Chain A
């Protein structure tokens, strides 16, 4: 029984869906996927509002320096991140399902945000897959997203919970 519990605990902490704010990166020959998931005690509409207000992002999110453009379906945005301060990421908002899901598409990757209600909490998950046929050639030159993803999730949790506590 004890062994079974230990195995279950290990599985939970290693699972890509673990909601502990720890990023997990899965590396394959032609792609790399980083995922972070975190439980947030807030309202799903607060999270959605935070994730879709481009101009306000840098105020609460320490991983993003600026986002130009509107985060709306089909619109293009220009994002500057602490991941690579010299680079501007040109992305397109491919999909938006209010309060549930948003997809940003870039030159060689796709980022998916999902929100799921779970009791009084919301499970926020952010996943980014980068890859392609040429990926193996520059894979080791792309920095790890883990730290940045964990910070993103932590910042979102902090801000969304602060707003939800307002009286």
Chain B
């Protein structure tokens, strides 16, 4: 494969790759660095690409390796990350002012509930063990087959199945307990609360019925509701969606808060 062909192919894969790295790291800066490192590493090793797997699988394997190196020494986030970050945001008037300024000045910062669902998943999924987190994203959001995930992570299909199953069950349990969108007794109402603060003119009920996961919450089983949540994520590119600047701003806030929180609680 020539460098020119590789660059063309890389550009096609880049949006998915970038979104994958962001959803793993929750850091805009780390994502930029890792994306660049992936391109450099792939270019250096281009002559070793034999086409046994697809180029996309091969590039995702390089990106995953670099991302694992980046995350291996960092602590995982707790399940109640959104509670911790909400409390921190409330105590920080500067964060509120910055957010309002962004909403007023940007065309990509109108609060959208679907985007908040994706953002919330990104934060909470960081409570999963690293291997489970990787398997879940690769299989459920980026549509790799189990065999391809095993190739990317240099493991066996059996272990991918184990990590995937365990991750799904854990996330189903967390969202069942927390998410008021799918469970009336769920303790987290941040979607509607933030909508009320940053987008008060938007009718929350009208917006909620547009989301299949919410419409089917009463009748669908937990596994299916989780699949529908994954569909929400698949439809959103965190770097080009309608409200991506707002959501990236929230994500950066949460990352900073969690870094301080984890340092304090070492």
Contact = CB atoms under 8 A, between A and B. Distances in A.
A166 B164 contact: yes
Contacts of B158: 42-43, 45-46, 164
Contact of B162 (A49, A59, A167): A49
Contacts of B161: 43, 46, 163-164, 166
B46 interface: no
Interface in B135-183: 146, 156, 158-159, 161-162, 164-166, 169-170, 173
Interface in A24-74: 42-43, 45-46, 49-50, 53, 56, 59
Contacts, number: 32
A53 B146 contact: no
A167 B156 contact: no
A45 B156 contact: yes
Contact of B146 (A42, A59, A167): A167
Contact of B166 (A43, A45, A53, A167): A53
B177 to A, nearest CB: 13
A162 interface: yes
A49 B159 contact: yes
Contacts of A167: 146
Nearest to A59: B169
Contacts of B164: 166
Contacts of B173: 59
A57 to B, nearest CB: 11
Interface residues of B, number: 12
Interface in A149-167: 162-164, 166-167
A27 B216 CA distance: 55
B146 A43 contact: no
A73 to B, nearest CB: 19
A50 B165 CA distance: 11
Contacts of A162: 165
Contact of A56 (B146, B156, B159, B166): B166
B132 to A, nearest CB: 10
A164 B177 CA distance: 27
Contacts of A164: 158, 161
A50 B162 contact: yes
Nearest to A167: B146
A45 B161 CA distance: 10
A43 B146 CA distance: 15
A45 B163 CA distance: 11
Nearest to A43: B158
B155 to A, nearest CB: 9
A117 to B, nearest CB: 12
26 contacts: A42-B158, A43-B156, A43-B158, A43-B161, A45-B156, A45-B158, A45-B159, A45-B162, A46-B158, A46-B159, A46-B161, A46-B162, A49-B159, A49-B162, A53-B166, A56-B166, A56-B170, A59-B169, A59-B170, A162-B165, A163-B161, A163-B165, A164-B161, A166-B146, A166-B161, A166-B165
- 7 closest A-B pairs by CB: A43-B158, A166-B161, A163-B165, A49-B162, A45-B158, A46-B162, A163-B161
Interface of B: 146, 156, 158-159, 161-162, 164-166, 169-170, 173
Interface of A: 42-43, 45-46, 49-50, 53, 56, 59, 162-164, 166-167
Given A163-B161, A164-B158, A166-B161, 18 more contacts: A42-B158, A43-B156, A43-B158, A43-B161, A45-B156, A45-B159, A46-B158, A46-B161, A49-B159, A49-B162, A50-B162, A59-B169, A59-B173, A162-B165, A163-B162, A166-B164, A166-B165, A167-B146
